[in-house]
Each structure stands twice: as structure tokens, then as C-alpha cells.
Chain A
Amino acid sequence: SQQGEEDPQALSIQEGENATMNCSYKTSINNLQWYRQNSGRGLVHLILIRSNEREKHSGRLRVTLDTSKKSSSLLITASRAADTASYFCATDALGSSASKIIFGSGTRLSIRP
């Protein structure tokens, strides 16, 4: 079963706009990661946020984590056509083995020119 669930399932925005995707999970975690996947290829790691962190930035990406609500958000600012992809959150359950992570079902982001 999926640990994380992304919302929305699909998002279409105009180039230059900001895109926000949300992720909810069920159990306590060590950390949460966001990945991008282009056209059914391999996943690219974007950012990792630990359970004791509330916000993290990387370039045009901003991730927040609210452990009390078991939720996270990924914000992509000033979107570009190249941002068109599927985005997944991935969590590891607290106490699980070091590298076992569980993915959500993803948000498909489309950037319109």
C-alpha cells in the first residue's frame, strides 16, 4: 500500500506560474523526499527534508513539512516547460531499515507554454 498520497493527481499551469503539490502520509517518519520522473524513466532526487525540519529550499524548489498533520508540500516557483514531469513524495517509516522508502502515487505536472 502507498504510504504517501499526492494531491492533486494532475496539475496544468502556465509557464512562469508557481506549482504547488501536496503529500500526505500515514505513519511517523525519519524523513521525506521528493522525486521527479520524466516520461516513465528513472526518478531524479530533488530534495530531502528530515522530520525535525520544517522548511527547505533548493533553487526554485521549496519544501515544507508538517509532522503534526503528516503532510508536506512542494512548491516550484517560476515554472518552466522542462518542469513538466511526474512528482512523487517518498517516506520511510520511523524505525524501518536505512534505505527502505515508500512512494506515493504522484502528481503529473504539465507546464503550458
Chain B
Amino acid sequence: ETGVTQSPTHLIKTRGQQVTLRCSSQSGHNTVSWYQQALGQGPQFIFQYYREEENGRGNFPPRFSGLQFPNYSSELNVNALELDDSALYLCASSLADRGSNEQFFGPGTRLTVL
């Protein structure tokens, strides 16, 4: 158990809809990163939030957006869902000030887009 929780566990949406995924960081961590993992692939970096501001973004379109709240919990929003958005979405929290990149992952949200 890493102390990082994600909700919901599973989600089914249809193409064109919007979805919000949530992540609660491990206590004391100030950084949250989101990853998309397609079946049989490694996680792909979506973006990172540090102290409520975006701090790096991967190769994902603007319809992927996020928020980090004062308690360091986070949301990932995806608009205009496409079939290829079906994946496991992972969030990971870390303490950037420690100078280590060790990240603690949540169990993931499996999103299916029909």
C-alpha cells in the first residue's frame, strides 16, 4: 500500500463524452504525476503538477487537462473522449523537494471508451 488512492476503479464512457479521474496523494507529498498506460505498454507521462501548477507535460493534446488542489489531491480531465483513450490511468505522488524521483503509484483507474 502506497497511500495513494484513485477513484473510480473502473469507468465506462462513450466516445465524445468527458471524464474526470481523481487521485489522493500520499501524505506530505507535493507533486502529482499522471500516466496513461495502454494494454501491453509502459506508462506514458501525461503531465505533472507541483504545488498546484503544471510542471511538465508529455505529448498529449489539450483535451487532457488537470488540477491540483491545496491539499495536493489531483484531478485528470479528458474531454471529447476517443476510443484510443481506453487505458489504465495511473497517478503517482512524490516529494520533489527531496531531490529523489521515487514515485508512489495508486492502483489506477481503468477507463473503457465505447
Residues of A near any B CB (own CB < 8 A)? 1-2, 4, 30-31, 33, 35, 40-45, 48, 88, 92, 96-106
**Cross-chain contact B48 with A97 (CB below 8 angstroms):** yes
Complex CA distance for A48 and B104, rounded to whole angstroms? 13
Please, which residues of chain A bring their CB within 8 A of the CB of B92?
Answer: 43
Q: Which residues of A contact B107 (CB under 8 A)?
A: 41-42
Q: Which one of A30, A40, A99 lies within 8 Å of B108 (CB-CB)?
A: A40
Residue ID in chain A nearest B91 by CB atoms: A42
* Residues A105 and B108 in contact in the complex (CB < 8 Å), given A31-B101, A100-B56: no
Q: Which of the residues A43, A45, A99 comes within 8 Å of B31, measured between beta carbons? A: A99
What number of A-B contacts does a CB cutoff of 8 Å give?
81
Min distance, Cβ B29 to any Cβ of chain A, angstroms: 10
Which residues in A have their C-beta under 8 angstroms from that of B42? 2, 4, 88, 103-106
Contact B105 A30 (CB under 8 A): no
Interface contact B100-A96, CB-CB below 8 Å: no
- 25 pairs from A and B in contact (CB 8 Å cutoff): A1-B59, A33-B101, A33-B102, A42-B2, A42-B4, A42-B105, A42-B106, A42-B108, A43-B90, A43-B105, A44-B2, A48-B101, A88-B43, A96-B56, A97-B50, A98-B31, A98-B50, A99-B94, A100-B56, A101-B33, A101-B45, A101-B101, A102-B45, A103-B42, A103-B45
A81 CA to B37 CA in the complex, in Å? 25
A98 and B33 contacting across the interface, CB-CB below 8 Å? no
B110 near A40 with CB under 8 A, answer yes
